């Protein structure tokens, strides 16, 4: 057993759920199994975007971020469903509970993936045996498939979990990287996006092996410090620990939505920004944080995306303040082209309990009056179950967003 658990090394798992949203829907409704299925934000609209798809749909070329209309042209029998986030969160919570039965050193990184450090789990068996038990439990208890990567660090474990899907278990040791990792195309490397891949290809880096063996000075000139970091990863070096508390270290809270159709209507834009601001406020309130920066994302009809932010003089926490900052950014930076997607993000966060508002003689009464209003609204919300003023002024768009939040990922610990 000692060969699996080195004295000076680590044993890391990366657990990656396979086609998670589609798989959850199939588990909920078994009649969907074996059929081409896509989850999309606005399935009634041909411009809606595919969030994920089943492996049966992928055989036809259906991909994430593809417009629904294009997906249906590729796969005429495609079943398209709206996402059910509460259902996915419930499944995610149960999955992470299973992981935490093995070790307390579990780090969720998104709703459908996480890392585990099983270095101290030698008494439970070999890493492949533990991985098989985890995979089997998730499948038998939740009816969900997953792939697991086993490696001495997080980067290699992540790469390993992608090598065999669905229901794969892959071991990637340091001595294996030249044979298993280096031949892969550079765009398949975790941490290398399409823009970075294009830059690397211009200096004749086509594979991960090319990156691993390229002169580091040229990489730093091209990509800055990230060039050296990526080369270290390509050579199998990654010292990051599996950190169960990392999920609490969120640096921003944001949400976005794809509009049913591209628009230049100012009233529609304002209604969407109001809804997004309401959602961000609710999540900030849940986390008991305030923000000193608001960021706006605009994606146009041609997929060109711009982000602009505004640093504030004071911390804010209400949807009114978030909306006002967002709409000012929109008015300043909108190109007048049709808008496809909008996003609002609060950043530069601080805990409410640690922030002392420095009130002067001119704004003390304003803040005091606002707090009375907020308390009255909160009291009515507690009584009626929702904010009655928001219900009157803001039409609901349900829970459909195109960004999947991470600030619920420690919920599996709360029972």
Give 273-328 pLDDT, tens digit per residue.
Answer: 999 999 999 988 887 888 889 999 999 988 889 999 999 888 888 999 999 999 99
pLDDT above 90 as % of the chain: 63
User: Which whole-number Å values give the CA distances from 67 to 35, 44, 46, 73, 149, in the listed order?
Assistant: 19, 11, 7, 10, 31
- Predicted pLDDT at 357: 41
My answer on whether 33 and 182 are in the same domain is no
Mean pLDDT of the chain: 85
| Contact status, residue 171 vs residue 180, Cβ threshold 8 Å | no
343 DSSP β-pair partners: 256, 297
CATH number at residue 228: 1.10.150.20
Residue 222 is predicted with a pLDDT of 94
Q: In terms of Cα–Cα distance, which of 350, 330, 334, 340 is closest to 253?
A: 350
Quick check: is 371 catalytic?
A: no
Residue 191 lies in a domain: yes
Distances in whole angstroms, Cα of residue 231 to Cα of each of 60, 192, 213, 220, 237: 35, 11, 8, 10, 9
pLDDT band at 399 (very low <50, low <70, confident <90, very high): very low
Do 297 and 216 belong together in one domain? no
Residues 287 and 393 in one domain: yes
- As beta bridge partners, residue 300 has 339
Residues 12 and 132 in one domain: yes
Average pLDDT over residues 56-85: 93
Give me the domain span that covers residue 49: 1-172
How far is 381 from 389, CA to CA, in rounded Å?
Answer: 9
Number of domains in the chain: 3
Judge whether 243 lies within some domain.
no
Does 327 lie in the same domain as 366? yes
Burial class (CB in 10 A: 0-12, 13-18, 19+), 376: exposed
> Is the predicted pLDDT of residue 3 greater than 90, yes or no?
no
pLDDT surpasses 60 at 401: no
Q: Output the CA–CA distances (angstroms, integers) from residue 285 to 358, 394, 403, in the order listed.
A: 21, 19, 19
Among residues 313, 317, 295, 326, the alpha carbon closest in space to that of 370 is found at: 317
Can you read off the two tokens belonging to residue 310?
């505004």
State the average pLDDT over residues 114-142: 96
The β-bridge relationship of strands 252-263 and 339-351 is antiparallel
Q: What is the CATH number of the domain that holds 14?
A: 3.30.70.270
Q: Which residues contact 219 (CB under 8 A, 6 or more apart)?
A: 211, 227, 228, 230, 231
- Asked if the structure places residue 241 within a domain, the reply is no
Look at residue 18 in the predicted model and tell me its pLDDT: 96
Q: Which residues are annotated as a binding site for Mg(2+)?
A: 16, 112
CA nearest neighbour of 282 among 274, 270, 292: 274
Residues 260 and 224 in one domain: no
Given 25, 56, 113, 281, which residue is catalytic? 113
Place of tokens 């038998």: 140
221 with 283, same domain: the answer is no
Task: Confirm whether 244 is domain-assigned.
Answer: no
* Structural domain contains residue 20: yes
Summarize the chain as % helix, strand, coil (round to 5): 45, 20, 35
CATH number reported for the structural domain that contains residue 283 in this entry: 3.30.1490.100
Residue 165 has pLDDT above 70, yes or no: yes
Q: Could you tell me if 26 and 141 lie in one domain? A: yes
- Written as one string, the DSSP assignment of 84-132 is -HHHHHHHHHHHHHHHHTT-S-EEEEETTEEEEE-TT-GGG--HHHHHH
The answer as to whether 240 is a domain residue is no
pLDDT score of 211: 98
Q: Are both 166 and 190 inside the same structural domain? A: no
The rounded distance, in Å, linking the Cα atoms of 352 and 164 is: 45
Radius of gyration of the chain (CA): 24
Identify the residue with better confidence: 364 or 321: 321
Q: Are 197 and 318 members of one domain?
A: no
Q: Looking at the structure, do residues 147 and 226 belong to the same domain, yes or no?
A: no
Cα–Cα separations (whole angstroms), residue 74 to 40, 58, 70: 15, 10, 6
Count CB atoms within 10 A of the CB of residue 265: 11
Cα–Cα distance measured from residue 130 to residue 103, given in angstroms and rounded to the nearest whole number: 11
* Contact predicate 164/170, CB 8 Å: yes
Digit-coded pLDDT (tens) for 205-257: 999 999 999 999 999 999 999 999 999 999 999 999 999 887 666 678 899 99
Residues 278, 352: one domain? Answer: yes
- 245 within some domain: no
């Amino acid at each position: 057993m000692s060969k699996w658990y080195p004295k000076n090394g680590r044993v890391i798992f990366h657990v990656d759920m396979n086609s998670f949203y589609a798989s959850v829907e199939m588990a909920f409704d078994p009649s969907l199994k074996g059929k081409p299925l896509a989850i999309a934000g606005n399935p009634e609209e041909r411009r809606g975007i595919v969030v994920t798809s089943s492996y049966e749909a992928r055989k036809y070329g259906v991909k994430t971020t593809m417009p629904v209309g294009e997906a249906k042209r590729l796969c005429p029998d495609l079943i398209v469903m709206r996402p059910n986030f509460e259902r996915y969160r419930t499944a995610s919570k149960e999955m992470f509970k299973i992981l935490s039965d093995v070790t307390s050193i579990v780090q969720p990184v998104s709703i459908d993936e996480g890392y585990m450090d099983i270095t101290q789990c030698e008494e439970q068996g070999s890493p492949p045996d533990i991985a098989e038990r985890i995979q089997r439990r998730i499948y038998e208890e939740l009816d969900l498939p997953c792939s697991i990567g086993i490696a001495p660090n997080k980067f290699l474990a992540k790469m390993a979990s992608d090598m065999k899907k669905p229901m794969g278990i892959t071991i990637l040791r340091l001595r294996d990287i030249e044979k298993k990792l280096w031949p892969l195309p550079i765009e398949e490397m975790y941490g290398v996006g399409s823009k970075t891949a294009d830059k690397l290809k211009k200096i004749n880096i086509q594979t991960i092996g090319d990156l691993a063996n390229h002169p580091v000075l040229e990489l730093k000139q091209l990509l800055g410090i990230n060039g050296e970091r990526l080369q270290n990863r390509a050579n199998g070096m990654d010292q990051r620990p599996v950190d169960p508390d990392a999920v609490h270290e969120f640096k921003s809270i944001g949400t976005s939505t794809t509009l049913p159709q591209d628009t230049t209507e100012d009233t529609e834009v304002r209604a969407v920004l109001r809804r997004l601001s309401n959602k961000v406020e609710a999540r900030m309130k849940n986390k008991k944080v305030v923000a000193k920066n608001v960021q706006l994302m605009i994606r146009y009809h041609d997929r060109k995306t711009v982000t602009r932010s505004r640093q504030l003089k004071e911390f804010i926490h209400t949807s009114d303040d978030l909306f006002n900052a967002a709409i000012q950014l929109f008015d300043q930076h909108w190109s007048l082209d049709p808008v496809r997607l909008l996003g609002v993000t609060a950043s530069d966060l601080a805990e409410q309990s640690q922030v002392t508002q420095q009130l002067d003689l001119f704004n003390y009464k304003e803040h005091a009056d606002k707090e009375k209003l907020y308390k009255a609204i909160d009291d009515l919300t507690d009584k009626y179950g929702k904010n009655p003023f928001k219900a009157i002024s803001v039409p609901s768009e349900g829970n459909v967003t195109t960004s999947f939040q991470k600030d619920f990922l420690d919920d599996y610990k709360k029972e």
